[in-house]
Amino acid sequence: MNVLYHLTVLPPQMPEAEALSQEIEALRQTYAGDLIYLNPNRQAIGRIPRICFGFHRLLEIRRREARIALHHFYNPDPFPFPVLRFLRRPIVYTVSSGLAANQPIPAFFRRLAWVTVPDERSLTQLRAAGIDNSSVVRAGVDISRFSHAPRPTGDEIRLLMGSAPWTEAQFASKGVDALLAAARQEPRLHLIFLWRGVLTNQMVARVQKLGLQKQVTVLNRLVDVNQILADVHAAIALADGPGIVKSYPHSLLDSLAAGKPVLVSRAIPMADYVAEMGCGEVVEEITTAAILGSVERLLAAYPARMAAAQRVGKKDFTQEAMVESYGRIYRSLTGAD
């Protein structure tokens, strides 16, 4: 089976560290196919709106359709890209960051072959909008890359954040500024940020302005995440609303795979899972007080939270399960064995 994968983001500077690139690469190892980036803004003179995405490659895509069984299209939100109306093969549309509360669902989605979302909150909204050709596909990570290390010793409280901002506004919406403020208030707090080559100077300037050079480490290179996780208490992902980060951020799944608990914003759908399984703490708001309060709750219950992370981390979010979930959809749409 040959699948053509589509991404609407700009090509990442470090694809090996970017979650969707990793997911698509895992799928391509099982289902042969190429990856096409539909966002033309890296080469364009002036900003091109996303309503136009993909048209600069439409003729190429139409030629490729003779050799593929279907299209698999990834986008953070349910945007009805007009270029999709010109494709002739079945389209699987993955809403990679899930749905915001009460988000309108385009009627065009009823014409798609299938729609996937990463969480149950989003699926409930799709079904309420009459999009019955839909299902949840949980994110998955390569659990073989991770091993468990015990709780770090010493007085420091060490947290890892992997969801780096893509825009200036996301320093606030992804909680980076609030985390830095928390570190300034709590001298025991040490933060490790995994960066991806975007807005690095802006991040370093913030750290220096606040005088946090001894408490904050910014790793702007490919690293062994398992090695980093061995030296932290937990991973953290923050957002002031759904759709800003993936519903199940890969940095948190990596942490669970390594048997380390997580801290996650209530707005991120993974918060429901974390609360149910007890494998971390939920951060109710992106404020200094809420972050520090969740850290204290985590430390107070740390043995139980770490035990829960070890229990669920290597069984609920495997890459194999993710690949097979999409495989069932592909087979159902193409009649392939």
Which of 19-33, 68-82, 129-143 has the least mean pLDDT? 19-33
Bridge-partner residues for 222, per DSSP? none
d(CA 98, CA 277): 21
Question: In this structure, what token pair is assigned to residue 140?
Answer: 């998955």
pTM to 2 decimal places: 0.90
Per-residue confidence (pLDDT) for residue 45, from 0 to 100 = 61
In the numeric block, which tokens belong to residue 70?
């279907």
Which helix (H) or strand (E) segment is 226 a member of? helix 225-229
Specify the pLDDT at position 337. 63
Rounded Cα–Cα distance for residues 107 and 104 (Å) = 9
Predicted confidence (pLDDT) per residue in 5-27, tens digit: 999 988 877 776 677 888 999 99
- 74 bridge partner residues: 7, 94
Longest dimension (CA), the chain: 61
pLDDT digits (tens, 9 = 90+) for 15-69: 766 778 889 999 999 998 999 999 998 765 668 999 999 999 999 999 999 999 9
Could you read off the pLDDT of 84-119 as tens digits, one per residue? 999 999 999 999 988 988 889 999 999 999 999 999
121: CB partners within 8 A, 6+ apart = 98, 99, 242, 247, 269, 272
